[in-house]
C-alpha cells in the first residue's frame, strides 16, 4: 500500500471551486485507498466552510482560523493539523487528474528529495506547463524562467528533472521538513514563499524534482487580483523577487552585479517615467531590513546560489 | 500636502495681477511646508511643443509646458487638446493631492477633466468673469458694459464685433476693444450696428451671424460644463460672486475668499505728508489698457491746470493705446513713466501721495490697490465692480463715477483744496489680509476636500490580512516619481552598506557605472529617440518642401480667388468690355456676312450672265465657225464656179470659133455663170445677218454688266463680216475682265472665312474664362453663350 498523504488546502470562500475540484480529488484518494486525508484551512476568519463542506463531503476536515492570516500562515496551520508525514499542498483552484499522487509519493522515497511538483497545466492546456520552472541570473537580477509555459513544445518538460522550486499551489513534501522551516514571513502575504522554501532545501544539499507523470490542472481565476487595486499583485511579485535576492545572494560578484543592476534600474525607470518600477523598488526596499534579518537566520549553505542555479536546471 | 497650481502665466514671463498673486501664494504655501508644483504654459521657440521644463525654487517648482501654437479660432482658444496628455503625465509623475486652477486660458478646459478623471479634488479661484463672459471683462468691444448673461446670440455679437475690429489697421496688434476716437466714423458705425444686432450693415450675412451664434452657444456650453465641474469655486469679491451666480453658478458652491497679500516691503514706507506749497502727487500704476481708463485720468488731469502732479506707470501689449497715453501725458502735463518691476514699487510709492484707479470695467480685486493701501497711500477709484469693496469712499480713499473725467477731476481738486484730506484718508487704511493667512485657509479647504474625497470605502471583500500591506503599497503609489527615486536611492545605499562587509567598500557611483556599463534601457531609448528624431527631421524637411510647394499653390489659388472676389467688378467690366468688343466684331462679321452674301449673289448673277454670254459666245463661235466653213465652202464653190466660168468661156471661145450657131449657146452659158455668182453673194449676206443677230444679245448683256449707264451701240444690219469679227474680239476681252473679277471675289470670300475663324477662337477664349471664373451664369455669360450657335456659319463658295 502506498504511503498515506495529507492534502492541505488553504481557502477563502471558494465553495464553487470545491464543488468543481473536490470530487476528482476525493475519487483519486479513494482509488489509492491509502487512508489519505483532506484538510481544508478556512482562512476567512469567519468559519464559513466547515458547515457546507462537512455537509457535502463529511470526510473532509476543516481547520478554521480565528482570523484571516494569509496564505502562508494558513498553509502552516493546515500542515500542523495534518496527520500524515507526506503533505500535498494545493490550492482550491487545482483540479487533479487520475493517478496524480502515486508518482509524486514515489519520488519522495528518495531521502535527498526535498519536494516534488507535478506537471501543472495552466488552464488544463497540455502545452502550458507552469511547474517546469527555474531561476536564472540576468544582468544582475534573478528572474523566474518557465520555458514550458509559452506553449512551445519542450521535450525536457516530459522528463523527470530537477527544478528550482516546487510551485506552492500543488506539490508534495514532508510535513516535518516544512514545519522545521515553514514559509518565511518575509514574503507575506503571498508569492515567492514557495520558491524560498524550495531554496532552503537546495541550500541544504537536497533536490527539488519535477514529475511529469503526475498531472494536475491549474484553473487559475485570479481571485486576489479582483479584490485589490490594479498593479498590487504585480508589485507583490516584484517586491518578493527582490527580497528573495537580498536574502539569498551570497557571492560578492553576484551581489555587486545585483547592486549595480538595481542602481541602473532605478535610474532607467526614473529617467523613463516608469513610475511603477520605482514603486516596486521602493516597496521592496521598504522591507530591505527584514530581508537582511532573514538572511542572517539562514544556516550555512552547502551549495552556493550559482551552484544551485546550475544544478536546478536539467542538463541541456 | 502636495498641491498643484494651474495658471495661464507666471513671473517672470507674465507679470500681471493673477500671475503675481499666484507667485505669492506659491511662496506662502511653500513656507507653510506644502509642496507646490505650478503647471504653466509658455512660448519658447527654442523648444518643441509640449516640452516640459521644471524649475525648482525652494519649496515650489514651476513646470513650464511649451506651447508655441497661437489659437486661430474661439474654439482653439477654449480647447487645447494637445496639452491634455502632457498634463496627465505631469499629474502621474508629481502626484499632487489637490489641483487648484487659477485660469484656463492658454491651457484648455480639458485639464479640469484630466484632474477629475484621476479623482483629484479640484479648486478654482475666479480672478475675472471668464466663466460667464468669454471676454473676461463684461465689456463689449466698444468698451461699453454688457448686462446680458447666458445669451449666446448676444455673445456672438461680440465675436462678430471683434472680427470687425480685426480688420481695422488703426488698432495695431490689439483688437480686443476700441475707443471711438481710434476708429473712422464708418468703422465705429459698423461696430455699433453689429452690437445692435444689425450685423448686415457691417457686411455680415445672416448665415454668418447664425453660424457665429451656434458656435458661441456650443463653446459657452463647453465652458459652463467645465467651470461648473470644480469641487470648489473661490471668489475674492462679493461682486464677482453675484456675477457668477447671474451667469448660472449655484451660489452655495462659491466661497468668498479675499486675496491675501505679501506686501511687508511696502508697509515700512513713511506715510504721505504734504509739505506746504507742494502739489499733491497722484499716480496710475498697472496695465496701460483701455479698460483701465488711463485716458479718463488724463482727461481729468487736463482740467487741473497744473495744480497736481500726475504720473503714469505701466505698459501693455496694446502698443497703440500706450502710445496714445504717452502722447496725451505730454499734452496734459502728466508724467509718462512706463513699465516698472514689482521690486521698484516701494521706491515708486514713496513718491506718490495717492493712487488713482480710473477703470471703466467692472474691476474685481486689483492688487495695486492693496499694494498702495499697504504703503499707506489712499486710493481714488471708479465706483465700479468690486472696487467699492476695497476702497471705502471717505474712509481710505475716494470714489468717482466710472469713465467720468469731470467727476474724477472734482475728486482730484478736492485733494488739492483740502490739504488734510489725503492724510486723513491714509489714517483710515486698515491692514490687509496676509498671504500667510490665505495659505493657511486654503490648506484647510484643500484638506476638507481631500477628506470628502477619501470617504471610507464601501464594504469590501478584501481579506483583512491584506489591509495594511495594501495601504503601504498605496502610500508608495501616491508619491511623486522624484520622491520615489530619492527613497529608492536611499534604500539602495542601506543595502549596499549592509553588504559592504561581504563586498568590501564600494561607492554607489561605481555601482552605477558598472550597471550602466552593462547597458541602460534609458540610454538605448535615448539613442533610438535620437535616431527617430533624425528620421523625423528628414521627413519634416521633405514635408516642409512639399508644404512650401503646396503653399505656393495655395497662394496662387488664393491670389486667383482674391482677384476673382475682390476684383470681380474690374474683371466684370473687363469682361463686359471684351464682350462688347466681341459683340461689335460679331456685328461686323454679320454685316460682312451680309455683304458677302450680297456680293456672292451679285457674283452668282454675273456668273450666270457670264455663263449665258459664254453659252451665247460658244453658240456664236460654233455658228461663226460653221459660217466660216460655209463661207469657205461658198468660196470654194465660187472658185469652182469661176473655174467653171473660165472653162465655159474657153468652151465658148471654142464654140465661137466653131460656129455662129454656137453664139446662142454662148449667151445662155453666160447667163448661167452670172446667176451662180449672184447665189454666192446672197449666201454670204445671209451669214453676216445671222452673226449680227447672235452678237446683239451678248453685247447687250455685257453692256449691262460693264457700262449700263452708257448708250448701247449694237452692230447695224448689213455690217460686213469683217466688222462683226471685231465686235466678237471685244466680247472676248470683256469675258477675260469678268474672269478676273470672279477670281478677286473668291479671294475676298477666303479672307472672310479666315476672319470668321479668328472670331471663333475669340469666342472660345471668352467662354473659357467665363467658365473658369464664376461668371457663367451672369448676364455676360448668358450673352456669350448665345455665340455658341450663330446662324448660317458655313461660308458661301
In the prediction, which pLDDT does B101 show?
A: 97
pLDDT for B309 beyond 80: yes
In a domain, A316, yes or no: no
Task: Say yes or no: A126 and A263 in one domain.
Answer: no
Instruction: Using CB atoms, pick whichever of B469, B495, B525 lies closest to residue A246.
Output: B495
Residue B524 forms contact with A (CB below 8 Å):
no
Per-residue pLDDT at A220 exceeds 90: no
Q: How confident is the model at residue B422 (pLDDT cuts 50, 70, 90)?
A: very high
Residue B499 confidence (pLDDT): 92
CB B170 within 8 A of CB B183: yes
B226 vs B758: CA distance, rounded Å? 70
Provide the mean pLDDT of chain B: 87
Asked whether residue B17 is assigned to any structural domain, the reply reads yes
The Cα–Cα gap between B107 and B142 comes to: 27
- Measured between beta carbons, which residues in chain A are less than 8 angstroms from residue B460? 227
Same-domain status, A155 and A65: yes
Lowest mean pLDDT among A140-149, B196-205, B420-429, B785-794: B785-794
Q: Which has the closest alpha carbon to A166: A130, A190, A137, A127?
A: A130
Residue B155 lies inside a defined structural domain of this protein: no
Residue with cell 542538463: A315
In terms of domains, do A206 and A75 share one? yes
Same domain, A64 and A114: yes
Nearest to A272 among B473, B488, B525 (CB): B525
CA distance B690 to B683: 11
What does pTM read for this prediction? Answer: 0.71
Comparing alpha-carbon positions, the chain B residue that sits nearest to A234 is: B473
Q: Annotate B82-103 with DSSP letters as a single string.
A: HHHHHHHHHHHHH--SEEEES-
Percent of chain B with pLDDT over 90: 51
With a cut of 70, say whether residue B791 has pLDDT above it.
no
CB atoms within 10 A of CB B333: 15
Domain membership of residue A313 (yes or no) is no
- Annotate B35-54 with three-state secondary structure: EEEEEEEECCCCCCCCCEEE
Question: Around Cβ B624, how many Cβ atoms within 10 Å?
Answer: 21
The residue-averaged pLDDT of A58-81 equals 94
* Residue A98 in this model has a pLDDT that exceeds 90: yes
Selected residue with higher pLDDT from A224 and B430: B430
User: What pLDDT is stored for residue A222 in this prediction?
Assistant: 63
Residue A315 lies in a domain: no
Q: B45 near B54, Cβ under 8 Å?
A: no
Residues B278 and B425 in one domain: yes
d(CA B679, CA B184): 120
Please list every residue in chain B whose beta carbon sits closer than 8 Å to the beta carbon of residue A275. 92-93, 481, 484
Q: Are residues A217 and A253 in the same domain?
A: no
pLDDT at residue number B796: 42
Any domain includes B562: no
Does residue A61 carry a pLDDT above 80?
Answer: yes
For testing contact with chain B, the best of A66, A274, A275 (most B CBs within 10 A): A275
Domain of residue B46 covers 2-120
Query: From CA B2, how far away is CA B771, in angstroms rounded?
Result: 68
CATH number of domain containing B722: 1.10.287
In a domain, B320, yes or no: yes
**Lowest-pLDDT range of A264-278, B86-100, B638-652:** B638-652
Assess whether pLDDT exceeds 60 at residue B456: no
For residue B445, the model assigns a pLDDT of: 96
What residues form DSSP beta bridges with A171?
Answer: A89
User: Which 3 state secondary structure label does DSSP give B453?
Assistant: helix
Kindly state whether B468 is in contact with chain A, defined as any CB-CB distance less than 8 angstroms. no
Question: Are A44 and A138 in a shared domain?
Answer: yes
Domain with A261 in it? 232-299
Q: Tell me, yes or no, whether A135 and A260 share the same domain.
A: no
Q: Of A226, A256, A274, at which residue does a domain stop?
A: A226
- B498 at interface of A, judged by CB pairs closer than 8 A: yes
Using alpha carbons, select from B396, B400, B363, B368 the residue that is nearest to residue B285: B368
The count of structural domains within chain A is 2
Measured between CA atoms, how close is A281 to chain B, in angstroms?
6
| Nearest in space to B371 (alpha carbons), one of B20, B768, B749 | B20
Interface of B with A in 115-134 (CB under 8 A): none
Which of B461, B489, B506 shows the shortest C-beta gap to A266? B489
* Grid cell listed for B613: 454670254
Q: What is the mean pLDDT of chain A?
A: 93
In this predicted structure, what is the pLDDT of residue B574?
A: 76
Residue B748 lies in a domain: yes
Grid cell at residue B136: 473676461
For residue B38, give how far its alpha carbon lies from the nearest alpha carbon of chain A (Å). Answer: 19
Confidence label for B629 from pLDDT (cuts 50, 70 and 90): confident
pLDDT at B758: 80
Residue B712: CB atoms within 10 A of its CB come to 12
Q: How many CB atoms lie within 10 A of CB B372?
A: 30
- Helix B508-517 / helix B481-503 crossing angle, nearest 10 deg: 100
CATH of the domain at B349: 3.40.50.2000
- The answer to whether position A304 is within a domain reads no
Nearest chain A CA: its distance from B505 CA (Å): 11
CATH number of the domain to which A158 belongs: 3.90.550.10
Nearest Cα of chain B lies from the Cα of A185 at a distance, in angstroms, of 12
Question: Please, what sign has the CA dihedral across residues B394, B396, B400, B406?
Answer: positive
Same domain, A170 and A197: yes
Percent of all residues in chain B with a pLDDT value above 70, rounded to a whole number: 94
Selecting from A261, A271, A288 the residue whose C-beta is nearest the C-beta of B491 gives: A288
C-alpha cell at A214: 503526475
Q: To probe the interface with A, which of B460, B464, B466 has the most A CB atoms within 10 Å?
A: B466
| Residue B594 placed within a domain | yes
Integer Cα distance of B717 and B388 in angstroms: 137
Taking Cα atoms as reference points, which of B279, B302, B308, B294 lies closest to residue B357?
Answer: B294
Residue of B nearest to A230 (CA): B474
Cβ atoms within 10 Å, residue B243: 24
Give contacts of A289 with chain B, Cβ < 8 Å: 494
> CA A128, CA A133: separation in Å to the nearest integer?
12
Pairing between β-strand B35-42 and β-strand B2-6 as defined by DSSP bridges: parallel
Answer yes or no: is B699 within a domain.
Answer: yes
Predicted-complex ipTM score:
0.93
Q: How far is B113 from chain A (nearest CA, A)?
A: 22
Q: How many separate domains does chain B show?
A: 3
pLDDT beyond 60 at B60: yes
B26: left (phi over 0), alpha (psi -120 to 50) or beta: alpha
* pLDDT (average), residues B577-590: 82
Q: Which residue has the higher pLDDT, B789 or A119?
A: A119
A28 with A94, same domain? Answer: yes
Examine residue A308 and state whether it is found in any structural domain, yes or no.
no
Compare CB distances from B465 to A68, A259, A279 and report the shortest one's residue: A68
**What residues of A are in contact with residue B495 (Cβ under 8 Å)?**
246, 259, 262, 285, 288, 292
For residue A15, being part of any structural domain is answered with yes
Q: Is the pLDDT of residue B742 over 70?
A: yes
Judgement on whether residues A217 and A246 belong to the same structural domain of the protein: no
How far, in Å, CA of B599 to CA of B592, rounded? 10
Do residue B515 and residue A252 have CB atoms under 8 angstroms apart?
Answer: no
pLDDT of residue B672: 66
Where do the DSSP E strands lie in B122-248? 122-125, 232-235
| pLDDT at B786 exceeding the cut of 70 | no
* Same domain flag for A143 and A197: yes
Judged against a pLDDT cut of 50, whether residue B797 lies above it is answered with no
What's A2's DSSP letter? P
Query: What's the rounded mean pLDDT across residues B235-250?
Result: 94
CA nearest neighbour of B316 among B335, B336, B289: B289
Residue A241's pLDDT band (cuts 50, 70, 90): very high
Shortest alpha-carbon distance between residue A171 and chain B (Å): 24
B485 part of contact set with chain A, CB < 8 Å: yes
- Cα B437–B442–B448 angle (5° rounding)? 135
Distance from CA of B6 to the nearest CA of A (A): 21
> Please, what's the b/e burial string for B601-612 (b: 16 or more CB within 10 A of its CB; e: otherwise)?
eebeebbeebee
* B467 interface with A at CB cutoff 8 Å: no
Which residue's entry shows cell 503646396? Answer: B550
pLDDT of residue B749 exceeding 90, the answer is: no
Range B392-400 average pLDDT:
96
> Residue B136 and residue B287: Cα distance in Å, rounded?
15
Element (H, E) at B687: helix B661-706
A249-253, B40-44, B193-197, B637-641: the lowest-pLDDT one: B637-641
- In angstroms, the separation between the Cα of residue B119 and the nearest Cα of chain A is 14
Q: Which among A228, A255, A284 is the nearest to B462, CB-wise?
A: A228
Chain B residues in contact with A44 by the CB 8 A cut-off are 463
What whole-number distance in Å separates Cα of residue B467 and Cα of residue B464?
Answer: 5
**Confidence class of residue B795 from pLDDT cuts 50, 70 and 90?**
very low
CA angle B407, B413, B416 (to 5 degrees): 155
| B182 belongs to a structural domain | no
Of the two residues B299 and B603, the one the predictor is more confident about is: B299
Residue A159 lies in a domain: yes
What's the rounded Cα separation, in Å, for the pair B272 and B630? Answer: 153
Instruction: Please give the average per-residue pLDDT across B713-731, as a whole number.
Output: 80
- What pLDDT digit, counting tens, does each position of A173-218 carry? 999 999 998 899 999 988 999 999 999 999 999 999 999 999 999 9
| B751 inside 8 A of chain A by CB | no
Range scoring the smallest mean pLDDT among A213-222, B238-247, B674-683: B674-683
- Cell representation of residue B619: 453658240
Query: Over the stretch B246-274, which tens digit does the pLDDT of each residue have?
Result: 998 999 999 999 999 988 899 888 888 77
pLDDT tens string A127-166: 999 999 999 999 899 999 999 998 877 888 999 999 999 9
Q: Do B487 and A282 touch (CB under 8 A)?
A: yes
* Structure confidence by residue, pLDDT tens digits, B499-523: 998 888 889 999 999 999 888 888 8
Between A290 and B659, residue with greater pLDDT: A290
> Taking the CA of residue B76 as centre, how many other CA atoms within 13 Å lie in the half-sphere pointing to its CB?
7
Which band of pLDDT confidence, cut at 50, 70 and 90, is reported for residue A47?
very high
Query: Chain B partners of A12 at a C-beta cutoff of 8 Å?
Result: 463
Give the end of a domain, one of B76, B92, B120. B120
Residue A300 confidence (pLDDT) above 70: yes
Nearest to A263 among B464, B476, B492 (CB): B492
Taking one residue from A and the other from B, the number of pairs with CB-CB distance under 8 angstroms is 152
- Inform me whether the pLDDT recorded for B793 exceeds 50: no
B466 in reach of chain A (CB within 8 A) = yes
What is the reported pLDDT for B673? 59
Nearest CA among A123, A115, A217 for reference residue A166: A115
A242 shares its domain with A216: no
Amino acid at each position: 500500500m502506498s504511503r498515506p498523504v495529507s492534502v492541505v488546502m488553504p481557502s477563502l470562500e471558494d465553495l464553487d471551486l470545491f464543488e468543481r475540484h473536490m470530487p476528482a480529488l476525493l475519487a483519486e484518494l479513494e482509488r489509492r485507498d491509502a487512508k489519505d486525508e483532506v484538510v481544508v484551512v478556512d482562512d476567512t476568519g469567519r468559519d464559513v466552510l466547515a458547515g457546507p463542506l462537512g455537509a457535502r463531503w463529511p470526510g473532509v476536515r476543516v481547520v478554521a482560523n480565528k482570523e484571516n492570516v494569509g496564505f502562508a500562515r494558513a498553509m502552516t496551520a493546515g500542515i500542523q493539523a495534518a496527520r500524515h508525514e507526506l503533505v500535498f499542498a494545493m490550492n482550491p483552484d487545482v483540479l487533479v487528474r487520475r493517478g496524480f499522487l502515486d508518482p509524486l509519493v514515489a519520488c519522495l522515497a528518495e531521502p535527498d528529495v526535498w519536494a516534488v511538483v507535478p506537471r501543472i497545466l495552466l488552464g488544463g492546456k497540455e502545452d502550458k506547463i507552469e511547474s517546469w520552472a527555474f531561476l536564472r541570473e540576468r544582468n544582475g537580477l534573478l528572474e523566474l524562467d518557465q520555458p514550458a509555459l509559452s506553449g512551445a513544445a519542450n521535450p525536457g518538460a516530459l522528463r523527470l528533472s530537477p527544478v528550482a522550486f516546487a510551485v506552492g499551489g500543488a506539490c508534495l513534501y514532508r510535513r516535518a521538513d516544512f514545519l522545521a522551516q515553514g514559509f518565511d514571513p518575509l514574503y507575506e502575504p503571498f508569492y515567492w514563499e514557495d520558491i524560498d522554501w524550495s531554496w532552503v532545501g537546495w541550500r541544504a544539499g537536497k533536490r527539488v524534482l519535477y514529475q511529469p507523470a503526475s498531472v494536475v490542472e491549474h484553473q487559475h481565476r485570479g481571485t486576489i487580483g479582483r479584490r485589490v487595486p490594479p498593479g498590487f499583485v504585480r508589485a507583490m511579485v516584484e517586491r518578493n523577487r527582490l527580497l528573495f535576492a537580498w536574502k539569498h545572494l551570497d557571492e560578492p560578484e553576484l551581489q555587486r552585479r545585483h547592486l549595480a543592476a538595481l542602481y541602473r534600474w532605478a535610474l532607467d525607470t526614473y529617467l523613463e517615467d516608469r513610475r511603477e518600477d520605482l514603486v516596486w523598488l521602493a516597496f521592496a526596499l521598504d522591507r530591505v531590513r527584514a530581508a537582511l534579518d532573514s538572511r542572517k537566520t539562514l544556516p550555512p549553505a552547502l551549495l552556493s546560489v550559482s551552484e544551485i542555479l546550475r544544478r536546478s536546471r536539467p542538463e541541456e | 500636502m502636495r498641491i498643484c497650481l494651474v495658471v495661464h502665466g507666471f513671473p517672470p514671463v507674465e507679470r500681471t495681477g493673477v500671475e503675481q498673486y499666484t507667485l505669492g501664494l506659491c511662496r506662502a504655501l511653500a513656507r507653510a511646508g506644502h509642496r507646490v508644483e505650478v503647471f504653466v504654459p509658455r512660448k519658447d521657440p527654442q523648444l518643441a511643443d509640449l516640452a516640459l521644463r521644471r524649475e525648482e525654487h525652494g519649496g515650489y517648482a514651476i513646470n513650464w509646458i511649451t506651447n508655441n501654437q497661437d489659437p486661430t479660432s474661439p474654439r482653439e482658444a477654449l480647447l487645447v487638446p494637445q496639452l491634455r496628455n502632457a498634463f496627465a503625465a505631469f499629474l502621474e509623475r508629481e502626484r499632487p493631492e489637490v489641483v487648484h486652477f487659477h485660469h484656463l486660458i492658454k491651457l484648455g478646459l480639458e485639464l479640469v477633466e484630466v484632474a477629475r478623471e484621476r479623482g483629484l479634488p479640484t479648486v478654482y479661484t475666479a480672478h475675472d468673469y471668464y466663466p460667464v463672459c468669454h471676454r473676461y471683462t463684461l465689456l463689449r468691444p466698444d468698451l461699453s458694459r454688457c448686462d446680458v448673461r447666458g445669451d449666446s446670440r448676444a455673445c456672438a455679437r461680440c465675436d462678430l464685433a471683434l472680427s470687425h475690429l480685426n480688420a481695422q489697421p488703426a488698432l495695431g496688434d490689439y483688437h480686443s476693444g476700441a475707443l471711438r476716437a481710434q476708429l473712422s466714423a464708418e468703422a465705429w458705425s459698423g461696430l455699433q450696428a453689429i452690437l445692435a444686432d444689425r450685423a448686415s450693415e457691417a457686411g455680415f450675412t445672416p448665415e454668418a451671424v447664425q453660424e457665429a451664434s451656434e458656435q458661441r452657444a456650443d463653446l459657452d456650453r463647453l465652458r459652463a460644463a467645465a467651470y461648473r465641474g470644480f469641487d470648489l469655486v473661490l471668489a475674492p469679491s462679493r461682486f464677482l460672486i453675484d456675477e457668477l451666480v447671474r451667469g448660472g453658478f449655484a451660489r452655495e458652491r462659491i466661497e468668498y475668499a479675499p486675496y491675501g497679500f505679501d506686501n511687508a516691503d511696502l508697509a515700512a514706507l513713511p506715510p504721505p505728508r504734504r509739505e506746504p506749497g507742494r502739489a499733491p502727487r497722484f499716480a496710475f500704476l498697472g496695465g496701460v489698457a483701455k479698460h483701465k481708463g488711463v485716458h479718463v485720468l488724463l482727461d481729468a488731469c487736463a482740467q487741473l491746470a497744473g495744480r497736481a502732479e500726475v504720473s503714469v506707470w505701466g505698459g501693455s501689449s496694446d502698443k497703440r493705446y500706450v502710445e496714445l497715453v504717452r502722447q496725451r501725458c505730454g499734452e496734459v502735463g502728466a508724467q509718462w513713466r512706463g513699465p516698472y518691476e514689482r521690486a521698484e514699487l516701494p521706491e515708486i510709492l514713496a513718491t506718490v501721495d495717492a493712487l488713482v484707479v480710473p477703470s471703466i470695467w467692472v474691476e474685481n480685486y486689483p492688487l495695486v490697490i492693496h499694494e498702495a493701501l499697504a504703503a499707506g497711500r489712499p486710493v481714488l477709484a471708479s465706483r465700479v465692480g468690486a472696487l467699492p469693496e476695497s476702497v471705502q469712499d471717505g474712509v481710505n480713499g475716494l470714489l468717482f463715477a466710472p469713465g467720468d473725467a469731470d467727476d474724477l477731476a472734482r475728486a482730484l481738486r478736492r485733494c488739492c483744496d483740502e490739504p488734510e484730506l489725503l492724510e486723513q484718508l491714509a489714517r483710515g487704511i486698515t491692514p490687509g489680509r496676509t498671504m500667510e493667512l490665505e495659505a493657511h485657509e486654503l490648506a484647510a479647504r484643500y484638506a476638507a476636500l481631500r477628506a470628502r474625497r477619501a470617504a471610507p470605502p464601501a464594504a469590501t471583500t478584501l481579506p483583512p490580512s491584506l489591509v495594511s500591506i495594501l495601504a503601504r503599497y498605496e502610500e508608495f503609489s501616491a508619491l511623486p516619481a522624484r520622491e520615489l527615486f530619492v527613497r529608492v536611492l536611499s534604500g539602495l545605499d542601506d543595502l549596499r552598506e549592509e553588504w559592504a562587509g561581504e563586498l568590501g567598500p564600494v561607492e554607489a557611483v561605481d555601482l552605477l557605472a558598472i550597471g550602466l556599463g552593462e547597458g541602460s534601457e534609458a540610454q538605448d531609448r535615448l539613442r533610438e529617440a535620437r535616431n527617430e528624431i533624425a528620421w523625423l527631421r528628414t521627413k519634416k524637411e521633405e514635408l516642409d518642401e512639399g508644404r512650401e510647394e503646396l503653399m505656393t499653390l495655395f497662394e496662387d489659388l488664393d491670389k486667383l480667388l482674391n482677384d476673382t472676389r475682390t476684383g470681380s467688378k474690374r474683371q466684370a467690366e473687363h469682361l463686359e468690355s471684351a464682350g462688347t468688343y466681341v459683340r461689335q466684331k460679331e456685328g461686323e462679321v454679320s454685316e460682312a456676312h451680309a455683304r458677302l452674301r450680297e456680293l456672292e449673289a451679285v457674283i452668282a448673277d454675273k456668273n450666270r450672265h457670264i455663263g449665258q454670254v459664254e453659252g451665247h459666245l460658244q453658240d456664236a463661235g460654233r455658228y461663226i465657225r460653221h459660217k466660216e466653213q460655209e463661207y469657205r465652202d461658198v468660196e470654194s464653190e465660187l472658185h469652182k464656179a469661176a473655174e467653171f466660168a473660165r472653162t465655159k468661156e474657153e468652151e465658148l471661145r471654142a464654140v465661137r470659133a466653131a460656129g455662129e450657131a454656137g453664139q446662142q449657146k454662148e449667151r445662155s452659158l453666160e447667163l448661167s455663170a452670172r446667176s451662180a455668182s449672184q447665189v454666192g453673194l446672197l449666201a454670204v449676206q445671209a451669214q453676216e445677218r445671222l452673226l449680227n443677230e447672235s452678237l446683239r444679245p451678248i453685247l447687250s448683256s455685257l453692256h449691262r454688266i460693264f457700262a449700263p449707264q452708257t448708250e448701247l451701240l449694237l452692230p447695224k444690219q448689213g455690217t460686213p463680216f469683217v466688222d462683226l469679227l471685231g465686235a466678237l474680239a471685244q466680247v472676248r476681252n470683256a469675258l477675260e475682265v469678268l474672269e478676273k473679277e470672279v477670281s478677286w471675289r473668291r479671294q475676298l470670300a477666303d479672307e472672310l472665312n479666315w476672319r470668321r475663324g479668328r472670331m471663333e477662337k475669340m469666342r472660345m477664349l471668352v467662354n473659357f474664362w467665363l467658365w473658369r471664373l464664376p461668371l457663367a451664369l451672369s448676364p455676360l455669360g448668358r450673352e456669350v453663350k448665345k455665340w455658341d450657335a450663330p446662324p448660317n456659319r458655313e461660308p458661301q463658295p
